Amino acid sequence: MLEMSQISLLIACYNAAGTIERAVRSIRQEPLIGEIIVVDDGSQDETIDVLKSNIADDKLKIFQTGINLGPGAARNIGLAKVAFPWVAVLDADDYFLPDRLKKLTSCSTDADFIADDLYYCTNDTGKIKMRGMVERAGFIDLEFFVKNNITTTRKQRTELGFLKPLISMDFLNRYHIRYRENLRLGEDFAFYVDALFAGARFKIIDACGYVSIERTDSLSARHEISDLEYLCEFDHLNLKRKLSQPERAAFHQHLLDTKKRLRLRRFLFEKANDRYDGMLREFLWNHGSARHILAELLKAKIRPHRSE
């Protein structure tokens, strides 16, 4: 178990004036945190004013990029400033429940990444629920991680890439692991893949108190076509690595899954621009893409409206 002030807390934020104060206040009383690093990624709102006016804390260190570089680049700037052996990442929309890090660190000292299952709540209710992404606690490998970031008809998408582990800086520096700055979607997924490929001991445990806020206007909800194209490129890159057959099969399936989402995004783009030939092309690309597009359109029709 870690002693006092052994963890750096990293928050990369963009236009987070409405949530950044809650995020920072939720972790100020964590005794294991030695510093709170906030990297403002070119916000156009009052994020910095909120931080400077409402939060007085000697542990708080604020850095600004000036222009929006993306979450990966902003987090890499923060990682370069880390002064403690461990780092925990908190999204600016989210927050910690009390003693999350104490519970997290008490479970293991033999891991490079220690991740807990998530709680979540929506903006309209504020009611905290269990996410239930962790099928089994314990150490995971590359194949398991990739497979649990794939949509299937048999189970809910688990999205282990959404987890926010406690991370060893020694491991990151030893193997030169950093976020891929071209990715604005799936940057956590890619970060964990690179770490697991380098041999990271990645342990998952039950929920300790990370609360993820579900927002329809989050970055992940409004990703661009290029975001999905870059994620496809990352899968292609991994398929060129030396992999076991099960690992290769997992990446191939993840690539197919990402391509389905890409086809849907392109279909919606063509629809928004009244280009019916383009809509037809994306719809008829292959059987899987057509089924996915129809399923997502149907869900959008029946999904209840969420007030923000």
Domain containing residue 92: CATH number: 3.90.550.10
Q: Is residue 258 helix, strand or coil? A: helix
Contact 116, 163 (CB under 8 A): yes
Tokens 């991994």 correspond to what residue?
Answer: 238
Establish if 36 belongs to a structural domain: yes
Q: What percent of the chain has pLDDT over 90?
A: 61
Q: From CA 94, how far away is CA 121, in angstroms rounded? A: 10
Three-state SS annotation for 143-171? HHHHHCCCCCCCCCCCCHHHCCCEEEHHH
- The model's confidence at residue 133, banded by pLDDT at 50, 70 and 90, is confident
Indicate whether 18 and 80 sit together in one domain: yes
Q: From CA 137, how far away is CA 205, in angstroms rounded? A: 5
- Mean pLDDT computed over 229-239: 96
Contact 94, 211 (CB under 8 A): yes
> Does the structure show a pLDDT above 70 at 298?
no
The β-bridge relationship of strands 202-214 and 95-96 is: antiparallel
pLDDT, tens only, 64-97: 999 999 999 999 999 999 999 999 999 999 999 9
Q: Tell me the H-state helices in 181-286.
A: 187-197, 225-239, 245-272, 276-283
Instruction: Identify the weakest region by mean pLDDT among 108-122, 143-157, 210-224.
Output: 210-224
Sign of the dihedral through C-alpha 154, 195, 182, 44: positive
- The model's confidence at residue 220, banded by pLDDT at 50, 70 and 90, is very low
Indicate whether 174 and 230 sit together in one domain: no
Establish if 2 belongs to a structural domain: no
Establish if 308 belongs to a structural domain: no
Q: From CA 99, how far away is CA 298, in angstroms rounded? A: 41
pLDDT of residue 2: 66
User: Average pLDDT, whole number, for the chain?
Assistant: 85
pLDDT of residue 132: 77
Sign of the dihedral through C-alpha 93, 98, 99, 103: negative
Establish if 307 belongs to a structural domain: no
- The model's confidence at residue 282, banded by pLDDT at 50, 70 and 90, is low
Indicate whether 228 and 90 sit together in one domain: no
Q: From CA 294, how far away is CA 288, in angstroms rounded? A: 10
Q: Which of 184, 215, 246 is the last residue of a domain?
A: 215
Establish if 179 belongs to a structural domain: yes
Indicate whether 175 and 37 sit together in one domain: yes
Tokens 């990444």 correspond to what residue?
Answer: 113
Indicate whether 75 and 211 sit together in one domain: yes
Q: Which of 155, 190, 215 is the last residue of a domain?
A: 215
Number of domains, the chain: 2
Indicate whether 71 and 127 sit together in one domain: yes
> Does the structure show a pLDDT above 80 at 224?
yes
Indicate whether 262 and 188 sit together in one domain: no
Domain range for 26 is 7-215
Indicate whether 15 and 115 sit together in one domain: yes
More confident residue, 189 or 261: 189
Indicate whether 14 and 152 sit together in one domain: yes
- The model's confidence at residue 306, banded by pLDDT at 50, 70 and 90, is very low
Indicate whether 210 and 230 sit together in one domain: no
Q: Which of 166, 197, 215 is the last residue of a domain?
A: 215
Establish if 155 belongs to a structural domain: yes
Chain-centroid distance, C-alpha 155:
20
